[in-house]
Copies of this chain bind each other. A is one copy, B any other.
Amino acid sequence: MNKEKKFILPEKEIPTQWYNIMADMKNKPKPLLNPATREAIKPEDLYPVFNEECSKQELNTTDVWIDIPEEVRDKYKIYRSTPMVRAYELEKALDTPAHIYFKNESVSPVGSHKLNSALAQAYYCKKQGITNITTETGAGQWGTALSFAAKAFGLELAVYMVKISFEQKPYRRSLMQAWGAHVIASPSMSTKAGRKILTENPKYQGSLGTAISEAIELALQTTNCKYTLGSVLNHVALHQTVIGLEAEKQMEMADDYPDVVIGCFGGGSNFSGISFPFMRHKINGDNNTRFVAAEPSSCPKLTRGVFQYDFGDEAGYTPLFPMYTLGHQFQPAHIHAGGLRYHGAGQIVSQLMNDNLMEAMDIPQLESFDAGILFAQTEGILPAPESNHAIAAAIREAKKAKEEGTKKTILFNLSGHGFVDMTAYDQYLSGDLTNYFLSDNDITKTTDLLEKII
């Protein structure tokens, strides 16, 4: 056992390929469907909205390994490899026999793992000759990452930011502007989708679903412009596998191996990133590692949603996705982990969940902040509210190990830091935060609206 605290790979060990789990899955994800014809989507159906390379990656179920373009890998060198850290102080505080490791994606210059896919998407757009891109952002982490990525590859970017975040997180907005992006509060009057919602409900505080509709609409109406998305989609999960591929080598350096791998769960980007490279060994029957997605109790699509075809956005501009979903009209409570307020899980994760290759835990808001503060006071890093869910799940696992008196190795992904989320901590420390729980009726209200296709 290597007793060092921090494991970092040399530059030459930064992965040169991403891992495409779809090629290894025995049950492939069910296809995306054209909502009008119910026919399976082909790459060229996605070209009007996405760049061509990402469109192909989205539907690629055959190539296990996809080369990381040298231009992207060169930008990765700014912050990768990210450290994998043994959380000795947290272990001590919990008095647990478990080994707890975390992969620290918060050291990326934008403060989260989102940059891993932002750089790839911006690069592919640039390569295709595209000049303008659009996106949406909830908590602001994806928008922040894409702002730097767009600047790095010389693209103009418009970001639709969910209105409640736009107002509650002025620091996030300024961050995106510092990197040169145009930021618009959503719903806005700049799109048909936004105008419709604002007319029906002028005080609507926005949602990721609405912001996605607006960003797609702007991309379709702008010359030489494509849309980009920071989670849910298969090509995003693909780019994020750089996290788990590094962690796998770092676990070797530590001379250890995870019994359980944990990521917080919004649309699936950081969970997929840390998990898939380890999961390939489970799919191949080589081990029996557990994979845990930690989602908020207020938005529990994996633990309480239905597995059904649904739209990715509120207005219904996207294809139909086979997903664990709460229904695309579900309006989550305003928890501070804005990045986890999404109604559905990606296509791959949903299939893996259905096949029992992974599991999910739902975490109440207060438990997540308890975990985040304990982590800050032991390991020093103040986590993003999203990441707090992964920490809370890791703490549950470590406590169970103590109760059962078993040795257990836990690896979780620290998806980002919380420096730009201090309003949330301020509320927590003042005792003003609450939990949000849902009745069965809260859930069936929107899931019952879904057509039964699966």
Bound Cα distance from A52 to B109, whole angstroms: 39
Bound Cα distance from A11 to B86, whole angstroms: 13
Contact with B along A73-84 (1 / 0, CB 8 A): 010011100000
Shortest distance from the beta carbon of A126 to any chain B beta carbon, whole Å: 15
Give the contacting residue for A422; candidates B74, B377, B420; CB below 8 A: B420
Is there contact, CB below 8 Å, between B6 and A174?
A: no
Bound Cα distance from A423 to B77, whole angstroms: 29
Is there contact, CB below 8 Å, between B171 and A419?
A: yes
Bound Cα distance from A213 to B16, whole angstroms: 56
Q: A6-B11, A170-B426 are in contact. Are A179 and B109 (CB under 8 A)?
A: no
- Stretch with Cβ within 8 A of B (4 or more), from A238-246, A379-387, A389-397, A443-451: A379-387
| Chain A: number of interface residues, binned into ranges | 35 or more
Is there contact, CB below 8 Å, between A373 and B107?
A: no
Bound Cα distance from A107 to B85, whole angstroms: 14
Does A111 reach chain B (CB closer than 8 Å)?
A: yes
Does A435 reach chain B (CB closer than 8 Å)?
A: no
Does A321 reach chain B (CB closer than 8 Å)?
A: no
Question: Which chain B residue lies CB-closest to A74?
Answer: B5
Contact with B along A111-135 (1 / 0, CB 8 A): 1000000000000000000000000
Shortest distance from the beta carbon of A90 to any chain B beta carbon, whole Å: 12
Bound Cα distance from A119 to B152, whole angstroms: 36
Shortest distance from the beta carbon of A378 to any chain B beta carbon, whole Å: 8
Does A4 reach chain B (CB closer than 8 Å)?
A: yes
Does A307 reach chain B (CB closer than 8 Å)?
A: no
Bound Cα distance from A79 to B376, whole angstroms: 14
Bound Cα distance from A419 to B381, whole angstroms: 14
Give the contacting residue for A382; candidates B8, B175, B380; CB below 8 A: B175
Give the contacting residue for A109; candidates B11, B379, B422; CB below 8 A: B379
Does A309 reach chain B (CB closer than 8 Å)?
A: no
Question: Which chain B residue lies CB-closest to A119?
Answer: B380
Question: Which chain B residue lies CB-closest to A427?
Answer: B174
Is there contact, CB below 8 Å, between A381 and B109?
A: yes
Does A335 reach chain B (CB closer than 8 Å)?
A: no
Shortest distance from the beta carbon of A381 to any chain B beta carbon, whole Å: 4
Question: Which chain B residue lies CB-closest to A75?
Answer: B380
Is there contact, CB below 8 Å, between B419 and A174?
A: no
Instruction: List 6 A-B residue pairs with CB atoms under 8 Å apart, sorted by A's residue number.
Output: A78-B380, A109-B381, A170-B422, A170-B426, A171-B419, A174-B422
